[in-house]
Amino acid sequence: MDNLESIYTDVIMQHSTETYNKKKIDNPTAMEHGHNPSCGDDITLEIKMNNNVIEDLSFTGHGCAISQASTSIMIDLLKGKTKEEALELINIFIRMIKREKISEEELDKLEEARALQNISNMPARVKCAELAWYTMQKLIEK
């Protein structure tokens, strides 16, 4: 039960039911599709880059609460960041989920995305949390 409450937290539930990041954007500069075959999570990220800065970011698609929340939280975090900053945050997030070594200072940088830390205790759902972040990595490294 502890387990449950530490996963389906208010932050996650709120983001999974909010839809303000779930839309198409006008004239995106690139798009990337991500898919999680085991669970069926399926998202498409749309980005608008302004030189080196992520000016706008959104997603469409469907999936479980964890994947939807993780995507929305990521969009909030990365909008307005430079490409390099975004890649660093993605790297920290993946390390957090994989329970690799990570400093308190790094965790702070993740802001709300820290709410997903406990997913690392639920191996069956790790892929749901990671999907958006790996898809984003591919998108900006294109």
The reply on whether position 53 binds another protein by CB under 8 A is no
Structure tokens at 108: 């702070």
Question: Quick one: tokens of 31?
Answer: 């798009």
Return the number of the residue (88 or 112) whose C-beta is nearest another protein: 112
42 bridge partner residues: 35, 62
Cβ pair 16, 72 in contact under 8 A:
yes
From Zn ion, another protein, none, interface partner of 27 (C-beta below 5 to 8 A by class): none
What DSSP designation does 41 have? E
Phi, psi of 8 (to 5 degrees): -85, 65
Q: Closer to another protein by CB, 105 or 124: give it.
A: 124
- Min dist CB 53 to Zn ion, Å, is 30
Q: Binding another protein by CB under 8 A: which of 38, 50, 51, 103?
A: 38
Q: Is 13 in the site for another protein (CB under 8 A)?
A: yes
Helix (H, G, I), strand (E, B) or coil at 47: strand
| Encoded tokens for 30 | 């690139």
Q: Which residues of the shown chain bind another protein in the complex (CB under 8 A)?
A: 1, 3-4, 7-8, 13-14, 16-17, 38-42, 62-66, 122, 124-125, 128
